[in-house]
């Protein structure tokens, strides 16, 4: 057993917070030490030996690497890291693709090339705005290779309107508009300690009822007002980093500093984010630093002719993901860390993103990537912290620590970082200062799995209330969770959304308000509302929903690909169904708005876990309190209860502030919202007082002190 005096200073905080970590303090200390050493190396790696901040390092990197125009001198500077190349030349429309006129100079022993291109005789930039460019390298064997600059900020598909799912290769363009978009609105204020986070996960390209790729402008005009009405205060944008294959959902990134040209140009994305900020909505980027596309001609793979520049070599066994058919970064490489950290700073500074959802964190954390027998996690600390058994990639953990350092340094008042981790890695969401990895939130990935399993395998009358409550509350103390009952994963073809599991084909025939709801529709709409509210209020410290799921989108999501004839029919969100007041989709939509806005007014998300006072397996009732609010769920399919006694801790008069049975939400108005509930000074279900309420079948109520 490790004694108190033997606990390393750099992890004392996490051990004091969680004493079960004590046997693993030396492993935790080693992981933190590596990140701290890298931080030191970066911040002390200046030419004159002076100190620089991590943010200055990241900002200086994206401002010096790649192509940059100086509007005062008319010069264009280009800088690229390509250690395997023997020579480098910049070619493009500007020099008629001459392979000898603009040779880059070899600057240093690290393999960094650079060139400064003077203005033309008339003072104009030598490279016109939005013109095509490439970099040509000569390899050690004398052969030539042609690449898109690694730091390019715009890449486009030829003939974008007719390009199919795979499309032709991407082209790099020199983006240098004379009048770039100027931000008008400040970032929304967000206090990690008290503010709630309600996230609307969205994909710009599918955000139209029409079978096409929607644009940034269309999202700004048509979708942002909906998100505002619904009451979400953050958007998580997917598939923004340029990806050659549309059907990859943005997870096969080719150009890390380019925003997807499918939806428009960079200035239009800036306008989208600025408009969201004006509405008080934060914008998060779904950032992909877990892997990269294997594309060679328009990606990072074999960029300088070697297979181990940005990635582990294929021969090492660590260079490719076994399931994703993609390349894996070598986080131990200094220039790789420069590239990735600069990428985060770039999106915060240039596009004004407010934080990141880090994709594929489980894959990053472990050498087994969460795949196979080793990728099954029971929660035993040995699986994460044992030197012999965990298979943890210490370099990836250290990179994630640095990434969190950087984001919180750049946005000290409002940074948000979210980890997509299914493993439950301890300390992932504890502060770096304590010895944690530093994320603000992790995704509650077990929650949608539970709901889908229940809907798939059991009748709701057989659901165990205790099992549901346990799954929703089974999270690490002090590490915040983003709760969700379905995300984009459950919307994809091959799976089913909650609405589809609940109502299936009836959604196509029985959603009209011109006739009474069928038993299938009635059950489906009732449970859809209850599942979302229960997950929202009990499952975490933040909430996430995927666009369209809030109103029970009737179809799955399937991007155009060779298997469906490049059809866009399922790569869209049918918001027209919400706007048709003769359809019940509107009712689910308005309930979601009421739920989000009720939380905004009353706040329960970013508060301590709920106290669950009742999990009644026969009555099918769940009762709990959170932040002084009382939540009552009756999952019984047929029984309604009059004067049902529920415990409350704080005495007083309670009123209903959210009722899933409102007619406007597809209910039957069985609850009198004018009623008041007075506490009786008698202990009940472990609480000091009780009230008696009428709770109809398949209805949820939220009550607050008047």
The angle at the Cα of 333, spanning 154 to 355, to the nearest 5 degrees, equals 50
Q: Does the residue 185 lie in any domain? A: no
Joined together, the tokens standing for residue 475 give 């999270």
What Å distances lie between residue 500 and 452, 533, 697, CA to CA? 11, 18, 22
Sign of the Cα pseudo-torsion (53, 55, 56, 61, in order): positive
Sign of the Cα pseudo-torsion (415, 420, 422, 426, in order): negative
Q: Do 278 and 211 reside in the same domain of the chain?
A: yes
User: Could you tell me the end-to-end alpha-carbon distance of the chain, in angstroms, rounded to an integer?
Assistant: 52
Q: Do 288 and 378 reside in the same domain of the chain?
A: yes
Give the ranges where 603-671 is alpha helix by DSSP (H): none
Q: Distance between CA atoms of 387 and 395, rounded to whole angstroms?
A: 14
Residue 157 — pLDDT band, cuts 50, 70, 90?
confident
Q: Which of 602, 633, 655 is the last residue of a domain?
A: 602
Q: Do 322 and 425 reside in the same domain of the chain?
A: yes
What's the average model confidence in pLDDT over 519-526? 98
DSSP state letter for 421: -
Q: Distance between CA atoms of 619 and 616, rounded to whole angstroms?
A: 5
* 566: Cβ contacts below 8 Å, ≥ 6 apart: 164, 165, 560
Q: Do 454 and 395 reside in the same domain of the chain?
A: yes
Q: Do 210 and 242 reside in the same domain of the chain?
A: yes
What's the average model confidence in pLDDT over 339-365? 98
What's the average model confidence in pLDDT over 545-569? 92
**pLDDT at position 165, please?**
41
pLDDT value at 214 more than 50: yes
* 96: Cβ contacts below 8 Å, ≥ 6 apart: none
Contact 524, 503 (CB under 8 A): yes
Q: Distance between CA atoms of 179 and 270, rounded to whole angstroms?
A: 13
Q: Does the residue 59 lie in any domain? A: no
Q: Do 346 and 419 reside in the same domain of the chain?
A: yes
**pLDDT at position 487, please?**
87
Q: Do 328 and 226 reside in the same domain of the chain?
A: yes
Q: Distance between CA atoms of 375 and 111, rounded to whole angstroms?
A: 38
Residue 309 — pLDDT band, cuts 50, 70, 90?
very high
Contact 298, 169 (CB under 8 A): yes
pLDDT value at 166 more than 70: no
Backbone φ and ψ for 238, nearest 5 degrees, come out as -95, 160
**pLDDT at position 5, please?**
80
Q: Does the residue 449 lie in any domain? A: yes
3-state secondary structure of 199: strand
Q: Does the residue 190 lie in any domain? A: no
**pLDDT at position 41, please?**
93
pLDDT value at 162 more than 60: no
pLDDT value at 160 more than 60: no
The angle at the Cα of 634, spanning 632 to 638, to the nearest 5 degrees, equals 160
Query: Is position 130 annotated as part of the catalytic site?
Result: no
Of the candidates 603, 635, 633, which has an alpha carbon nearest to the alpha carbon of residue 618?
A: 635
Contact 553, 573 (CB under 8 A): yes
Q: Which CATH number fits the domain that encloses residue 632?
A: 2.60.40.1180
191 alpha carbon, distance to own chain's centre: 19
Joined together, the tokens standing for residue 198 give 């309600």
Q: Do 615 and 598 reside in the same domain of the chain?
A: no
Contact 510, 552 (CB under 8 A): no
Contact 255, 170 (CB under 8 A): yes
Q: Does the residue 60 lie in any domain? A: no
Q: Distance between CA atoms of 673 and 701, rounded to whole angstroms?
A: 10
Greater model confidence, 557 or 473? 473
Residue 35 — pLDDT band, cuts 50, 70, 90?
very high
Contact 275, 223 (CB under 8 A): no
Q: Which CATH number fits the domain that encloses residue 133?
A: 2.60.40.10
Percent with pLDDT over 90 in the chain:
89
Q: Does the residue 563 lie in any domain? A: yes
* 669: Cβ contacts below 8 Å, ≥ 6 apart: 661, 662, 663
Q: Which CATH number fits the domain that encloses residue 334?
A: 3.20.20.80
How many residues appear in the chain?
Answer: 706
Q: Do 165 and 206 reside in the same domain of the chain?
A: no
Q: Does the residue 182 lie in any domain? A: no
Q: Do 216 and 158 reside in the same domain of the chain?
A: no
Q: Do 158 and 204 reside in the same domain of the chain?
A: no
**pLDDT at position 164, please?**
44
**Number of folded domains in the chain?**
4
Q: Does the residue 178 lie in any domain? A: no
3-state secondary structure 33-75: HHHHHHHHHHHCCCCCCCCCCHHHHHHHHHHHCEEEECCCCCC
What Å distances lie between residue 59 and 40, 340, 347, CA to CA? 17, 11, 11
Containing structural domain, residue 44: 4-54
Contact 422, 371 (CB under 8 A): no
Complete DSSP assignment for 575-591: THHHH-TTBTHHHHHHH
Query: What is the CB neighbour count within 10 angstroms for residue 168?
Result: 13
* 560: Cβ contacts below 8 Å, ≥ 6 apart: 164, 165, 246, 247, 566, 567, 568, 571
Q: Which of 420, 479, 510, 661 is catalytic?
A: 420
3-state secondary structure of 91: strand
Q: Which of 304, 359, 590, 592 is catalytic?
A: 359
**pLDDT at position 159, please?**
58
**pLDDT at position 126, please?**
98
Contact 422, 458 (CB under 8 A): no
Complete DSSP assignment for 165-177: SS-SPPEEE----
3-state secondary structure of 406: helix
Q: Distance between CA atoms of 287 and 332, rounded to whole angstroms?
A: 19
What's the average model confidence in pLDDT over 140-154? 97
pLDDT value at 464 more than 90: yes
Q: Do 641 and 514 reside in the same domain of the chain?
A: no
Query: Is position 449 annotated as part of the catalytic site?
Result: no
Q: Which residue do the tokens 């990728």 mark?
A: 375
């Amino acid at each position: 057993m490790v004694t108190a005096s033997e606990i390393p200073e750099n992890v004392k905080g996490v051990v004091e917070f969680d004493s079960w970590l004590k046997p693993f303090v030396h492993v935790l200390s080693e992981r933190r030490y590596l990140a701290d050493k890298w931080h030191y190396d970066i911040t002390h790696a200046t030419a004159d030996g002076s100190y620089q901040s991590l943010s200055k390092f990241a900002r200086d990197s994206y401002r010096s690497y790649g192509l940059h125009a100086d509007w005062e001198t008319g010069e264009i500077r280009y800088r690229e890291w390509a250690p395997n190349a023997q020579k480098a030349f910049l070619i493009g429309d500007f020099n008629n693709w001459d392979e000898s006129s603009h040779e880059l100079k070899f600057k240093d022993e690290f393999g960094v090339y650079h060139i400064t291109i003077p203005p033309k005789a008339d003072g104009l930039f030598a490279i016109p705005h939005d013109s095509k460019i490439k970099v040509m390298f000569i390899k050690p064997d004398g052969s030539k290779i042609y690449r898109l600059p690694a730091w390019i900020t715009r890449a486009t598909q030829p003939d974008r309107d007719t390009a199919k799912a795979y499309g032709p290769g991407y082209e790099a363009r020199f983006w240098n508009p004379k009048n770039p978009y100027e931000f008008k609105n400040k970032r929304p204020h967000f206090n990690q300690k008290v503010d709630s986070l309600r996230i609307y996960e969205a994909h710009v390209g599918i955000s139209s009822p029409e079978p096409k790729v929607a644009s940034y402008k269309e999202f700004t005009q048509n979708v942002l007002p909906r998100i505002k009405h619904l009451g979400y205060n953050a958007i998580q944008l997917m598939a923004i980093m340029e990806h050659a294959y549309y059907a990859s959902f943005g997870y096969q990134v080719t150009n890390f500093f380019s925003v997807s040209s499918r939806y428009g140009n960079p200035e239009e994305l800036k306008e989208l984010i600025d408009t969201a900020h004006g509405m008080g909505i934060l914008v998060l980027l779904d950032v992909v630093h877990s892997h990269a596309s294997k594309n060679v001609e328009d990606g990072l793979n074999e960029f300088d002719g070697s297979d181990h520049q940005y990635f582990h070599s294929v021969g090492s066994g660590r260079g490719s993901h076994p399931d994703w058919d993609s390349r894996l970064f070598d986080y131990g490489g200094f220039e790789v860390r420069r590239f990735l950290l600069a990428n985060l700073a770039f999106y915060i500074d240039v596009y004004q993103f407010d934080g990141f959802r880090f994709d594929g964190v489980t894959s990053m954390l472990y050498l087994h990537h969460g795949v196979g027998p080793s990728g099954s996690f029971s929660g035993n600390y040995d699986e994460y912290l044992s030197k012999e058994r965990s298979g943890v990639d210490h370099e990836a953990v250290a990179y994630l620590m640095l990434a969190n350092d950087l984001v919180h340094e750049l946005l000290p008042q409002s940074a948000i970082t979210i980890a997509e981790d299914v493993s439950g890695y301890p300390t992932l969401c504890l502060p770096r200062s304590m010895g944690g990895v530093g994320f603000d939130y992790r995704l509650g990935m077990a929650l949608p799995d539970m709901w889908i399993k229940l809907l798939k395998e059991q009748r709701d009358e057989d659901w165990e209330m205790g099992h549901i409550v346990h799954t929703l509350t089974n999270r690490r103390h002090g590490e915040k969770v983003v709760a969700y009952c379905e995300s984009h994963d459950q919307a994809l073809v091959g799976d089913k959304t909650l609405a589809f599991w609940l109502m299936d084909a009836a959604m196509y025939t029985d959603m009209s308000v011109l006739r009474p709801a069928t038993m299938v529709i009635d059950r489906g709409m009732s449970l859809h509302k209850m599942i979302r509210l229960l997950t929202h209020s009990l499952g975490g410290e933040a909430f996430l929903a995927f666009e369209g799921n809030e109103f029970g989108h009737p179809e799955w999501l399937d991007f155009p690909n060779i298997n469906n004839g490049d059809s866009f029919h399922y790569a869209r969100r049918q918001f027209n169904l919400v706007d048709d007041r003769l359809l019940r989709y509107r009712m689910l939509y308005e309930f979601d708005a009421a739920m989000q806005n009720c939380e905004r007014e009353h706040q329960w998300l970013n508060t301590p876990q709920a106290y669950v006072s009742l999990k009644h397996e026969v009555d099918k009732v769940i009762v709990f309190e959170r932040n002084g609010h009382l939540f009552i769920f009756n999952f019984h399919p047929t029984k309604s209860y009059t004067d049902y006694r529920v415990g409350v801790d704080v005495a007083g008069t309670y009123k209903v502030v959210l009722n899933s049975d409102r007619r406007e939400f597809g209910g039957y108005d069985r609850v009198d919202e004018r009623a008041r509930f007075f506490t009786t000074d008698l202990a009940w279900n472990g609480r000091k007082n009780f009230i008696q309420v009428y709770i109809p079948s398949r209805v949820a109520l939220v009550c607050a002190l008047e």
